[in-house]
Structure 1
Amino acid sequence: MAKFLNTSATNYYLEELIKSSSERLILISPFLKLNERIKELLEDKNRLKLDIRIVYGKSELQPEEISWLNELTYVRTSFCKNLHAKCYINESSCIITSLNLYEFSQVNNNEMGIYVSRDDDAELYRDAYDEAQRIIRISDEVRVKLEKISSEASEEIDANSKLSSSKIAKKLGVKTPELLEMMVSNGYLSLEDDKHSLTEKSQALGGELKKSKRFGEYFVWFEDKTLEALS
């Protein structure tokens, strides 16, 4: 029988799911952004040569994080367009939840989810596992590269000195998810079903939605106006 999880329980069971993985681990989340604890757990599983698949819809990694990820030989990453699912699976259990993998969501948000044990509910576990495999099949397997990110970064800066959200966040000394929360609080972005959208007010900061074939959608902003508005 599935077990209901609140925020703290989801965090606990997710950590236990990763730690107990002995054959395979699948992490499906819209954002490729990992907190320090999950990084430690993945590093440990990589040393044990565990087969790890990460499927994402948008990358929020900084250059140093890309270098870290590329050192994990047994971690494979795949890009899935229009990904909204959050599902974490190993060979014996599964978590389906609202929880993203990045730190801000785990610390500040109210989350819910369910935990499914293969032993207790084999049919439900199999349905979730089969759907995870389908998402993997329709995804493009990519090796996140620093060179690729650098190339993308050059496209994110236009003649009007527009910077991506991640670069604006770095200049403000915050993480990208925190910046997006600030944008929502100040009316420059709206948030519905975990998807951010530009508002009329965002035009004042030059807000613009860009699309990358490999890394999904991202926003760019006028540097000076945005830093002044949010500082």
Structure 2
Amino acid sequence: MAKFLNTSATNYFLEELIKEARDRLILISPFLKLNDRMKELLADKNRLKIDVRIVYGKSELQPEEINWLKELTYVRTSFCKNLHAKCYMNEELCIVTSLNLYEFSQINNNEMGVLIRRADDTELYKDAYEEAQRIIRISDEVRISLERVANEPESKPETEETSDKVTSSKLAQKLGLKTNELLEKLAATGHLEVRDGKNYLTSRGKEAGGEFRMSPKFGPYFLWPENFKL
């Protein structure tokens, strides 16, 4: 039988659900801003090579969330348009709740939820799991998108003074490529070097006019001459 959860109980069982995950973990929350405790728990799941799927949909990820998530090989993040559901589940437990996976909500809001145990409510758990899988299927995985946000802002920061250079995303559009395809080609031609999954500008890239920049809003990115040719 499903168990009613108040705010404190929701937070408690959410933490237990994450800790007890042995095979899979699904976290569906429109708003996503993880507190230090959640990051610690998810990092531990990553070390144990547990398959973790996070689906969000209401707010753009902040640079600190992006940089942290990029380090976790077994945590896949997806964006789902018009997402309003909040559901958290492992292979045995499921929480359907009003609580977002958001630091402010966990501390300040009054929330409600229900805890479903697979052993006690097999059909109810199955229905929730199938709906969670449907949401995952219709969502867009954002591993590449995270790289784009971290490396190429949609527009130049206000402090950018270089008028004859463009971001990697703009250069990719001009060359008829996707941003990740351009980055791969730049790595193949020696203009960029990939270390630990991150792109670094090489001497050849600098000689070709490439520049590394850091934006407080978008994080690190690259600029290239507008007439750059591979």
Q: Same fold (TM over 0.5)?
A: yes
Matched position secondary structure for 2:155: helix
Give the equivalent residue in structure 2 for 1:15. Answer: 15
Q: Does 1:95 align with 2:98?
A: no
CA distance in 1, matches of 2:157, 2:88: 31
Partner of 1:154: 155
Kept after mapping to 2: 8 A contact 1:92/1:119: yes
Give the Cα–Cα distance (whole angstroms) in 2 for the partners of residues 156 and 96 of structure 1. Answer: 40
State the alpha-carbon separation in 1 of the partners of residues 46 and 88 from structure 2: 17
Q: Does 1:29 pair with 2:1? A: no
Q: 2-side partners of 1:103 and 1:140: how far apart? A: 24
CA distance in 1, matches of 2:7, 2:149: 35
Contact residue 58 and residue 82 of structure 2 kept, 8 A: no
Query: How far did residue 101 of structure 1 move?
Result: 0.9
Structure 2 distance, partners of 1:119, 1:95, is: 14
Q: For residues 112 and 156 of structure 1, what CA distance do their matches in structure 2 show?
A: 41
2:58 maps to 1:63:
no
* 1:216 aligned residue: none
TM-score relative to the length of structure 1? 0.64
Higher helix share: 1
RMSD of equivalent CA atoms: 1.8
**In structure 2, distance between residues paired with 1:59 and 1:73:** 23
**Taking every aligned residue pair, what percent have the same amino acid on both sides?**
76
Give 3-state SS (helix, strand or coil) of 1:82's partner.
coil
Greater shift, 139-148 or 72-81, is seen at 139-148
Aligned equivalents of 1:80 and 1:155: distance in 2? 27
Alignment CA distance shift 1:85-1:138 (3 Å) = same
- Give the C-alpha shift of residue 141 in structure 1: 1.1
C-alpha deviation, 1:33, in angstroms: 1.6
Alignment of 1:24-173 (within 5 A): 24-143=24-143, 144-149=145-150, 151-152=152-153, 154=155
d(CA) in 2 for partners of 1:88 and 1:56? 12
Alpha carbons of 1:113 and 1:48: their partners in 2 closer, same or farther (altered >3 Å)? same
What stretches of structure 1 of length at least 5 have no aligned partner? 158-231
Q: Determine the structure 1 residue equivalent to 2:207.
A: none
3-state secondary structure, aligned to 1:39: helix
Contact 1:33 1:59 in 2 (8 A): no
The code of the aligned residue for 2:12 comes to: Y
SS in 2 for 1:99: coil
- Structure 1 runs (4+) greater than 6 angstroms displaced: none
Q: Is the 8 A contact 2:33 2:65 kept in 1?
A: no
Larger Rg: 2
Query: Equivalent residue of 2:101, what SS?
Result: coil
Which residue matches 2:200?
A: none
Task: Look up the match of 1:2.
Answer: 2
The number of residue pairs the alignment matches comes to 157
Query: Using the alignment, how far apart are the partners of 2:89 and 2:156 within structure 1?
Result: 35
**CA spacing shift, 1:125–1:131, aligned 2, 3 Å:** same
Contact 1:33 1:102 in 2 (8 A): yes
CA apart distance, 1:151: 4.0
What amino acid maps onto 1:79 in structure 2?
A: F
Distance in 2 between the 1:76 and 1:124 partners? Answer: 25
Where do 1:216-227 residues align within 5 Å?
A: none
In the alignment, residue 120 of structure 1 is paired with which amino acid?
D
